[in-house]
Structure formats: C-alpha cells, structure tokens
C-alpha cells in the first residue's frame, strides 16, 4: 500500500478557505494597528514618534483612518472586497506619492509596507474573504431570507 502524500494528508483543498481567512484576519489586524498607532498614539505612535497625527491633516490623517476602519472591516470579514479595494488604493497612493520619489525599489525607499499591503489587499479583492468572515454569515442570512419561489422566478416575471 502506498503511503499518502503530504498534500493528501493535509487535504489542502478543504484547508484553503481557512488559510485565506487566517491570512485576512492577520493582515487586517496589522493594518488596523498602523491606523491606531497614527490616530491614537498606540504602539509607539505615528511613525514611531509616540505622537498622533493632526486631525484632518491631508493625506496622513485620512490614510490612518482608512487603515483603522479598513483594517477592522477586513479583519472581521465585513464588506471585505470593498474595504480591501479602498485600502489597496490608499496604500498604492502612499507608495507612489510618499515613497517612490526616494528611490525605485521599496527596499530602497522605505515603502515595503505600503507596497505589500497594496498587493495583499488587491489579492483579497479577487479572492474574497475566505472562511470565518461576517460576509459569509450575512450572505447566508440574506439567501435564507429570500423565498425559494422568488429566487427561482425568471427575470421579468411578476408574482
């Protein structure tokens, strides 16, 4: 009898939604921590200064607000694709506006976090939230609330 491969032993297909969900939770948490640091002075404050950003200061305060709210939404899996799209755009803006002028590569210009978050959140736009997401819970409730006859009715027919 042949021994099972590692892939079959782990059953990776069944684990994918949970791995994606854990990935989303961790990256959302880290993103929210960046926003909380800048807005409230937590975790060393804005850029490690211990301070906070001036309320309403463009673009830093708004970026921090997007980081906090977007990170919490992504972490919880609520409106994941929309929050990830906005967060990805925010980080792309941060990279090209703040970091790109310093040097070409993220390792040279200090833009690793902005570049990485931008691509991570763009990935979540296309993959969705994975398992353990409030989007799934709300989607299941919305589907259950639609009567079966209405859901099966052809478009353009009245009942």
Q: How far apart are CA 127 and CA 119, in angstroms?
A: 12
Tens of pLDDT, residue by residue over 102-157, are 898 999 999 999 999 999 999 999 999 999 999 988 887 666 666 655 555 555 55
pLDDT in tens, 47-94: 777 788 888 888 889 999 999 999 999 999 999 999 999 999 999 999
| Structural domain contains residue 38 | yes
Tokens of 93: 């803006």
Determine, yes or no, domain membership for 63: yes
Domain that holds residue 114: 29-134
Per the structure, the count of domains in the chain is: 1
User: Token pair 């708004």 is at which residue?
Assistant: 62
| Within-domain flag for 35 | yes
Each as own residue / partner, the long-range contacts of residues 107-116 (CB below 8 Å, 24 or more positions apart, any chain) are 113/34, 115/91
* In-domain check, residue 65: yes
Any domain includes 154: no
Residue 155 lies in a domain: no
Residue 66, token pair as written in the block: 């997007």
């Amino acid at each position: 009898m042949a021994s099972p491969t590692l892939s079959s032993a782990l059953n990776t297909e069944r684990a994918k939604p949970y791995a994606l969900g854990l990935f989303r939770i961790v990256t959302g948490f880290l993103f929210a921590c960046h926003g909380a640091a800048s807005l409230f002075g937590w975790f060393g404050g804005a850029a490690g200064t211990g301070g906070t950003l001036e309320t309403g200061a463009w673009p830093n305060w708004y970026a921090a607000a997007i980081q906090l709210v977007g990170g919490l939404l992504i972490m919880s899996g609520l409106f994941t694709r929309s929050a990830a799209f906005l967060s990805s755009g925010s980080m792309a803006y941060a990279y090209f506006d703040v970091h790109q002028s310093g040097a070409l590569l993220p390792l040279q210009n200090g833009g690793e976090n902005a570049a990485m978050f931008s691509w991570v959140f763009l990935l979540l736009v296309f993959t969705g939230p994975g398992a353990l997401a409030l989007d799934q819970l709300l989607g299941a409730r919305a589907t259950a609330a639609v009567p079966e006859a209405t859901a099966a009715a052809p478009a353009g027919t009245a009942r």
